[in-house]
């Protein structure tokens, strides 16, 4: 029963932002930075273009005593939306799930901001930024939702991107550093 309750709370926590976005809530807050963040998220939700995500690889860099036993193939996928500003930079909302290091399902969702270089060679661009969101893992508090704030980088050619993040070792939480890679296609 406890496991079912924790999974229900996790799914609810990951889906709650979608319900708020669908409700058309105003972004009228007492603090300007909260209103600005809300407006960015609402703009992506209502005016953004759909994306498809395919996950693929988790490189366990160091600190893992059992590295050979860990799953590097993080197969999975999901969907999201992005909105591109006048300078070619993006606000992104995303949600996907993949097979984690122990072959268990790991959901993740959130907001990302990326700044891009000018296109070269017919549309090739490098991007960098951050994402904030929520994830949950079976081996960390049995799928209790965990907040995240991580850097992201990408290489984009026209509508296809190879994206990555670096997950640092946090003593008591994970054993080592991980580089995680996924792909995105913009519709």
Catalytic (active-site) positions: 60, 100-101
Q: What is the DSSP letter of 101?
A: T
Handedness of CA 123, 126, 48, 29 (dihedral sign): negative
Q: Which position has the token pair 């009228």?
A: 28
Please name the residue ranges forming H helices in the chain.
2-23, 32-47
Q: Where are the beta strands (DSSP E) in 24-172?
A: 49-62, 73-84, 90-99, 105-116, 124-135, 146-157, 160-167
Q: How many CB atoms lie within 10 A of CB 116?
A: 18
Q: Which position has the token pair 């708020």?
A: 20
DSSP bridge pairs for 124: 120, 157
3-state secondary structure of 187: coil
Q: Which two tokens stand for residue 35?
A: 């209103």
């Amino acid at each position: 029963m406890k496991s079912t309750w924790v999974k229900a709370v996790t799914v609810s926590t990951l889906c709650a932002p979608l319900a708020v976005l669908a409700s058309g809530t105003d972004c009228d807050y007492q603090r300007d930075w909260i209103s600005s963040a809300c407006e960015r998220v609402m703009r992506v939700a209502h005016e953004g273009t759909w994306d498809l995500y395919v996950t693929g690889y988790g490189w366990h860099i160091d600190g893992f005593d059992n590295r050979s036993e860990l799953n590097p193939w993080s197969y999975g996928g999901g969907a999201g939306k992005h909105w591109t500003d006048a300078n070619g930079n993006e606000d992104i909302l995303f949600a996907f799930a993949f097979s984690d290091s122990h072959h268990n399902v790991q959901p993740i969702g959130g907001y990302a901001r990326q700044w891009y270089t000018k296109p070269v060679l017919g549309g090739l661009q490098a991007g960098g930024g951050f994402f904030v969101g929520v994830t949950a893992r079976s081996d960390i508090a049995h799928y209790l939702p965990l907040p995240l704030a991580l850097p992201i980088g990408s290489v984009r050619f026209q509508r296809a991107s190879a994206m990555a993040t670096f997950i640092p070792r946090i003593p008591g939480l994970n054993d080592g550093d991980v580089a995680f890679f996924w792909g995105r296609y913009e519709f």
